[in-house]
Amino acid sequence: MPVATAVALCALVGFSPIELRAQHDDPLEEVEVIGTYLADGAADAETRISLDRDELEAIMPSEPEQLLQRLPGVSVFRPGGAGGVSEIFLRGAESNFTAVYVDGMRLNDSANTRGGSFDFSTLAANDIGRVDIGMGAMSAIYGSDAMAGVIRIDTAYPEAGSGTVYAEAGTEDDWRAGAAGSLALGDRAALGLRISEVDGGDAVDGSSLDLTSISARLSGRRPGGDAWRIDVRHTDRSRTSYPEISGGPELALLPDLETAEGTQTGVSAQSDWTVSDNWQMEFLGNWVDIENHGSTPAVPPGLLDGQPAFTSDSEYRRGQLLWINRVRLGTRARLAFGLDLIEERGRDDGMVDFGFALLPNGFSLDRTTATGFVELANEWAAGLESTIAVRIDHTDVDTRLSGKLGLAKAIGANGGRLWARAANGFKLPSFFALGNPLFGNPDLKPEEVTSFELGYDLPLGDRAMAGISLFTSEYRDLVDFDFETFTNVNRGVIDIDGVHLYGRVQVSDAVWLRADATLTDISSAAGELRRRPETTGGLHLTWEPLPAWSVDAAARYIGERLITSIPTGDIRDDAYLMANVTVRYRATPFLALWLAVDNLFDSNYQDAPGFPAPGSRARLGAELRF
């Protein structure tokens, strides 16, 4: 196919980031395939997005939210700039329906007020070495929380015997700095250390963010060749912002700011054990402690009723032990099976101030989940592949069966692939929804989802590819607040149908062009959902004019959204275009410089009424390697 034709087709159908190998060989990376326990042999029958360190260095995002916003099917909500709490929606599903892992540790906080969602502003963008995203229900692999998908993030470390120091400053008084190094410990092990500091600047009035993160990795191989790895990470964050529904700096009646401080501490250990040529075990254990201390001021009534002042003093702890077996069954079949044990504890000692009364807003709960799972992949005749997975999760009050079926078949001699996927999933009620003394309900049932996806991928010669997938998900028994009984109940239903289109083409040895579009129809029995667009799409250009230079440019269309605040009630924010450009220059093998411009066209949008969008910003950075 002529290159011009391929470019035209890609501009119409969109892109999915090219899945690239990591910059260095991580001992355990080959088995960390998202959406499956199998290292190989699983039918590729779902939408996956992967970015490695090479692509991240070309982009140089200022924060994780900026990186995720440019990806297919992902939308970001973060009022208040850097100091606001961020939410990530995969294909329009609730943000707490996505399981988030960092270095093997799940960081969804079941004790927070957002139902267990993860706030990505607790991550430093330059710490990220790899991002993997899987779309669709994945409870058959990951259990609770993975109803809309999974995001896995791995920290970047330099090669053994080397180090790096970087610094970046922006025009909104924002800056980022950090250092990383790795030391060889004999012939079979290495120790890596990374530290980062972020100041979010003052792009939005009242917004501030200070983030410190420290992480370490000890990894190696035993004499037989089996890999092992230990990760430790700690983050300390403080932030300020106007309350999300206050009307922000433009509409809030009171100048009082929401303040919050918090820490995340975790450790993860994993190790392979080869039993025979056809049987390998993997053992994983991790522990996470998340603490948050926040104070939210009262919001006076407007078009909607006001909100009382409240405080939160929460802690969430999660421990996990996971045992995986991977067995080859001849030359065409792969089997994985194992056990998973999860222990959770959550508490909150906060208060609610109604003005005339100060009431406790606290709880203390714990939960144990014991799990068994099995996954079987097979290669059949005529290019047909299949994967089936089943998982049983048992808690003190409930037992859940989750499943996944994937089929993929080669079509024609041009390498086309037709694939289909069906899965169900669930989410255990958050500790906040169960235990809050004012409106919590200890009898809440798990929320559920059933999802289907049908896709086709078509190579267009050696340098281009295009594809399409149709997806549908039904979310049931969603937790909702009942004003008549003043308590949480299971009654919500959301249906999400959509189409994802992508394309990518290597125009020349120095130019890559990618595009994508995700169109959804989101319906809810409770009315239109807020904060998420039904239409997103974008173009991404990578250009290497000279060996030492690279240009990364991306433009993203975000459709209109329904947003709300107490002063205004529901209003509609118009669609907008977000464009970012990064120019990177490797002056020497040891020194790299970059200039990035965010929101190139100074697009004016609001994630919440009264919160202006951060305007155009330039960032200048440098990295020294040694």
Residue pLDDT, tens place only, 278-301: 999 999 999 999 999 999 999 999
Q: What pLDDT is stored for residue 527 in this prediction? A: 86
For residue 338, pLDDT over 50 is answered with yes
Q: How confident is the model at residue 11 (pLDDT cuts 50, 70, 90)?
A: very low
Count of residues in the chain: 626
Q: How confident is the model at residue 25 (pLDDT cuts 50, 70, 90)?
A: very low
For residue 4, pLDDT over 60 is answered with no
Mean pLDDT of the chain: 93
What does the buried/exposed string (b/e) look like for 401-421 if buried means 16 or more CB atoms within 10 Å of the residue's CB?
ebebbbbbbeeeeeeebbbbb
For residue 43, pLDDT over 80 is answered with no
Considering only residues 341 and 81, tell me which one the structure prediction assigns the higher pLDDT: 341
Q: What pLDDT is stored for residue 32 in this prediction? A: 54
Q: What pLDDT is stored for residue 293 in this prediction? A: 97
531: left (phi over 0), alpha (psi -120 to 50) or beta: left
Contact 132, 49 (CB under 8 A): yes
Rounded to whole angstroms, the Cα distance separating 406 from 386 reads 6
What SS3 state is found at 181?
strand
Please name every residue paired with 504 in a beta bridge, in sequence order, or none if there are none.
Answer: 465, 514
- Give the DSSP H/E element, type plus range, for residue 6: helix 3-13
Q: What pLDDT is stored for residue 143 in this prediction? A: 96
Q: What pLDDT is stored for residue 24 in this prediction? A: 34
What SS3 state is found at 97?
helix
For residue 20, pLDDT over 60 is answered with no
Express each pLDDT in 61-88 by its tens digit: 999 999 999 999 999 999 988 999 999 9
Which single residue is written with the structure tokens 């508490």? 347
- Give the DSSP H/E element, type plus range, for residue 250: helix 248-251
Nearest to 105 by CA among 342, 349, 453: 342
* Percent of the chain topping pLDDT 70: 94
Topology of 3-625 in CATH? Maltoporin; Chain A (2.40.170)
CB atoms inside a 10 Å sphere around CB 390: 16
For residue 189, pLDDT over 90 is answered with yes
Rounded to whole angstroms, the Cα distance separating 546 from 583 reads 12
For residue 516, pLDDT over 80 is answered with yes
In 349-486, DSSP assigns E strands to 351-353, 358-360, 363-379, 384-394, 399-411, 416-427, 447-459, 464-482
For residue 7, pLDDT over 60 is answered with no
Rounded to whole angstroms, the Cα distance separating 444 from 367 reads 14
Q: What pLDDT is stored for residue 40 in this prediction? A: 64
For residue 496, pLDDT over 50 is answered with yes
Rounded to whole angstroms, the Cα distance separating 462 from 509 reads 12
CB atoms inside a 10 Å sphere around CB 354: 11
Rounded to whole angstroms, the Cα distance separating 598 from 618 reads 6
Express each pLDDT in 383-393 by its tens digit: 899 999 999 99
Domain residue ranges of the chain, discontinuous segments joined by +:
3-625
Considering only residues 45 and 266, tell me which one the structure prediction assigns the higher pLDDT: 266
User: Which of 152-156, 528-532, 582-586 is the least confident region?
Assistant: 528-532
For residue 30, pLDDT over 70 is answered with no
For residue 335, pLDDT over 50 is answered with yes
pTM score, whole prediction: 0.93
CB atoms inside a 10 Å sphere around CB 468: 17
Read off the tokens for 200: 């979010």
Q: How confident is the model at residue 42 (pLDDT cuts 50, 70, 90)?
A: low
Contact 578, 609 (CB under 8 A): no
